[in-house]
């Protein structure tokens, strides 16, 4: 199939395709990170993850309109403000949801699945009532659009670079936080042994709430960043939820490293196959591949060794 192309064309195409895979990888990590924290550390299956992401996207939409109306001079920098606000708004909603709903269901993991699914429907209808059923267009600052031409054929999209940078910053930030910070240590203590953690004076309820809020907050940032590459509508969150769960489950629920490794494997497999096959077939094969691995390794790629 490559006979008709010259060597230089092929090199550039593989370079671009590799880059496309890396962008997909970053997108996967970014959308799965919040879910991985909540699922891995708390055992809660958050079906409303996509809706938290879209809340972040709507916050971005609102902030961009506010900047356009009141602060047009510094419009170009609104995106950073939007991401920070998106984090806090979704984290606040996450904390509220944990307080109102999740904490009553910790002993019933299957019920959290149902309850958060209900929550996702409620949030969708809420967005529809507030923002309308149609998708909203989020205007991006000019510097995020376009691409850097490397050669005639190879062009690197700026927003792809931005998503990659953001993913690295957030992943490293979360990893550091889990390893070094007080909250991180407390979270890990609670995951390993809840009664003992409580006995040494850790406020486990507070830790749960902070963890859930953090996971939701990261979903908010992801949603904010995804306004660059996807749609913002009441049900757009549903577009991400399957891939997100796939990445988290495949990686091994309780390991952040697993999430990263799994995102890398799936994204590379998918983007390589997409190039040789049609999009739908690539998706089917990716899913088959994941199912196959999970049959051999039900716990996922990586697991945390915990004494129960």
Partner 1 sequence: MRLPSFENTALARRGFLKNLLAIPAALMLAHTSVPALADEANTTGLAVTDDTVKVGILHSVTGTMAISETGSVQAEKLAIEQINAMGGVLGRKIEYIQEDGASDWPTFAEKSKKLLVQDKVAAVFGCWTSASRKAALPVFEQYNGMLYYPTFYEGLEQSPNVIYTGQEATQQILEGLDWAAREKGAKKFYLLGSDYIWPRTSNKIARKHIENVLGSKVVGEEYYPLGHTQFNSVINKIKLKKPDVVFISVVGGSNVAFYKQLKAAGIDMGKEKPLFLTISVTEDEILGIGGENIEGIYASMKYFQSLPNENNQAFVKAFKERWGDDIVIGDVTQAAYLGPWLWKAAVEKAGSFDIDKVREASPGIELTTAPEGYVRVHKNHHLWSKTRIGLAEPDGQYKVVYESDDLIEPDPFPEGYQ
Q: Which residues sit at the interface with partner 1, rule CB under 8 A?
A: 5, 9, 13, 16-17, 19-20, 23-24, 27, 125, 128-140, 145-147, 149, 153, 155, 157-160, 228-236, 238-240, 270-271, 274-275, 278-280, 282-283
Q: How far is the CB of 121 from partner 1 (least distance, A)?
A: 9
Q: How far is the CB of 128 from partner 1 (least distance, A)?
A: 6
Q: Which helix (H) or strand (E) holds 117?
A: helix 109-131
Burial class (CB in 10 A: 0-12, 13-18, 19+), 123: buried
Handedness of CA 137, 139, 140, 142 (dihedral sign): positive
Q: Closer CB to partner 1, residue 62 or residue 189?
A: 62
Q: How far is the CB of 152 from partner 1 (least distance, A)?
A: 10
Q: Report residue 236: phi and psi, to 5°.
A: -60, -30
Q: Give the C-alpha separation, 166 to 27, whole Å.
A: 10
Q: How far is the CB of 164 from partner 1 (least distance, A)?
A: 13
Q: How far is the CB of 281 from partner 1 (least distance, A)?
A: 9
Q: Give the C-alpha separation, 273 to 1, whole Å.
A: 14
Q: Closer CB to partner 1, residue 61 or residue 302?
A: 61
Q: Give the C-alpha separation, 208 to 102, whole Å.
A: 10
Contact status, residue 50 vs residue 27, Cβ threshold 8 Å: no
Task: Give the angle 61-66-72 at the CA atoms, nearest 5°.
Answer: 115
Q: Closer CB to partner 1, residue 190 or residue 266?
A: 266
Q: Closer CB to partner 1, residue 254 or residue 286?
A: 286
Contact status, residue 96 vs residue 218, Cβ threshold 8 Å: no
Q: Closer CB to partner 1, residue 94 or residue 234?
A: 234
Q: Which helix (H) or strand (E) holds 11?
A: helix 7-42
Q: How far is the CB of 231 from partner 1 (least distance, A)?
A: 3
Q: Closer CB to partner 1, residue 211 or residue 270?
A: 270
């Amino acid at each position: 199939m490559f006979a008709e192309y010259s060597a230089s064309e092929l090199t550039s195409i593989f370079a671009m395709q590799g880059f496309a895979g890396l962008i997909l990888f970053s997108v996967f990590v970014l959308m799965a990170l919040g879910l991985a924290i909540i699922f891995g550390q708390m055992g809660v299956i958050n079906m409303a993850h996509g809706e938290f992401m879209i809340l972040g996207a709507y916050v971005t939409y609102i902030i961009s309109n506010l900047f356009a109306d009141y602060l047009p001079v510094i419009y170009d920098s609104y995106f950073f403000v939007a991401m920070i606000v998106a984090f806090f708004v979704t984290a606040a909603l996450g904390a509220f949801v944990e307080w109102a709903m999740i904490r009553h269901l910790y002993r019933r993991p299957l019920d959290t699945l149902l309850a958060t699914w209900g929550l996702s429907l409620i949030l969708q209808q809420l967005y529809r009532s507030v923002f309308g059923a149609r998708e909203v267009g989020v205007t991006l600052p000019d510097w995020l659009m376009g691409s850097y031409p490397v050669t005639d054929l190879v062009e690197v999209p700026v927003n792809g670079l931005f998503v990659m940078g953001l993913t690295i910053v957030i992943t490293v930030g979360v990893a550091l936080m889990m390893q070094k910070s007080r909250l991180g240590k407390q979270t890990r203590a609670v995951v390993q042994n809840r009664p003992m953690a409580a006995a040494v004076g850790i406020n486990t309820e507070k830790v749960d709430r902070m963890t859930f809020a953090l996971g939701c907050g990261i979903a908010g940032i992801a949603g904010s960043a995804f306004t660059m590459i996807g749609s913002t509508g009441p049900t757009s969150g549903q577009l991400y939820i399957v891939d997100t769960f796939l990445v988290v489950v495949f990686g091994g629920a309780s390991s952040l490293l697993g999430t990263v490794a799994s995102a890398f494997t799936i994204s590379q497999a998918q983007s390589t196959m997409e190039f040789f096959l049609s999009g739908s077939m690539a998706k089917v094969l990716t899913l088959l591949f994941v199912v196959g691995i999970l049959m051999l390794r039900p716990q996922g790629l990586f697991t945390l060794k915990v004494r129960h």
